[in-house]
Amino acid sequence: MRERRRQVGDFEVIEFDDAAEVDALRGRRELPAALDLRWTWEYGSEVAELRALYEKGKVSQWNAERDVDWSVPCTPEAWIVAPEGSLLAQVLKLMGRDEETQRAAAFEEIAYLLSQLLHGEQAALQLCGQLTNTCEKMDEKWYAASQVADEARHVEVFSKLLQRKLGRVHPISPTLKILLEMLLQAPSTREKTLGMQTLFEGMAVGIMDLLRGQCRNALLADVLRRVEQDEARHAAFGVLMMRRVVRSASAEERAQMEDWCFSVLEALNANQQLDMLVGLGPKYGIEPEAVVRMTTALPNFAQLNCLPYMHTVVPNLKALGLLTGRREADWRRVGMLVDRREVEALLAAAGPVD
């Protein structure tokens, strides 16, 4: 995405400004993805923690149709998140627009965010299907297969929430599509696991937990809580798998993995919600670049921007030895990492994961 980079103020963003190109990117539905399938003849359990996680998953299943109370209203007539949980609402307030407009924009912004989570869930569903093929051990195959069922349920619950309550499913952000396709096409189990299970699952948990902390709608909060419980298990699978991979990797391989993790999340961060702002901003008279120029220049930009990263991904990567002093300055430079005590109060206010 190097050719999509440009400078906005002091920040280097990734931006897709050619609508026809974005349409073509979204319209491409076929993706060649070669897999190295593996058989195993060892049917006994070899990794006790994975077997335990599989058992935990079996008793934690829920039914998106029956267990969710779909009669709870979710409309733009009331704030579904606190006003400070919506970038558009805050910008419109600064512009002096009335509360009804702020509420409507917040509603659309949450629909956009949930749509991106939905598209991410579809990628997780497909990637986990790949993992059931490529994993070496039967414990891993069983667990990955059980996660396929979880991800199908997440696609189901988010699509129903969007179609029944939020009004529409927004198209996938081009930045997200490129990154997800990179993982789906990654040649090795190692990159697929690290990318989806550690980076994207970890980001999803962070985003959902922060959103739930700001949530003012019982239906949305319930859906997020249910999905988050499953995602915490999925992130644990990623850590268990990667711990063994990292342990057996050479120093050079570890450095490559550390660089790769940074490059994937830095690209996500470089978009700075421009894909959302380009899609929704003009309708409200909001100029996307002006918003990014303003937010990235805030004195507490890094403290706010780092929250979804520091929630789960940063601690997990540090525990794995994939975020070390080698690259820490880069994480700090782009506002994805600050000193822990600077965000503790903010994270506590967002509420812990169940």
Coil vs helix vs strand at 157: helix
Binding site for Fe ion (CB under 5 A): 121, 124, 151, 154, 201, 231, 234
Question: How many separate helices (H) and strands (E) can be counted in the chain?
Answer: 17, 2
Question: What is the enclosing helix (H) or strand (E) of 6?
Answer: strand 5-8
Q: Considering the complex, state which of residue 146 and residue 273 has its C-beta at the smaller distance from Fe ion.
A: 146
Q: What's the closest the beta carbon of residue 159 comes to Fe ion, in angstroms?
A: 12
Question: What is the enclosing helix (H) or strand (E) of 12?
Answer: strand 11-14
Q: Considering the complex, state which of residue 210 and residue 291 has its C-beta at the smaller distance from Fe ion.
A: 210
**Alpha-carbon torsion angle 250, 255, 256, 262, nearest 10:** 150
Q: What's the closest the beta carbon of residue 197 comes to Fe ion, in angstroms?
A: 8
Q: What's the closest the beta carbon of residue 231 comes to Fe ion, in angstroms?
A: 5
Q: Considering the complex, state which of residue 231 and residue 258 has its C-beta at the smaller distance from Fe ion.
A: 231
Which CA distances in Å does 173 have to 11, 114, 151, 169, 193? 20, 12, 20, 12, 22
Q: Considering the complex, state which of residue 121 and residue 209 has its C-beta at the smaller distance from Fe ion.
A: 121
Q: Considering the complex, state which of residue 14 and residue 123 has its C-beta at the smaller distance from Fe ion.
A: 123
Q: Considering the complex, state which of residue 109 and residue 201 has its C-beta at the smaller distance from Fe ion.
A: 201
Q: What's the closest the beta carbon of residue 153 comes to Fe ion, in angstroms?
A: 8
Q: What's the closest the beta carbon of residue 245 comes to Fe ion, in angstroms?
A: 19
Coil vs helix vs strand at 8: strand
Name residues whose C-beta falls within 8 Å of residue 148's C-beta, 6 or more positions apart in sequence. Answer: 125, 128, 129, 132
8 Å CB contact between 327 and 319? no
Provide the phi-psi class of 96: left if phi over 0, else alpha when psi is between -120 and 50, else beta. Answer: left
Q: What's the closest the beta carbon of residue 155 comes to Fe ion, in angstroms?
A: 8
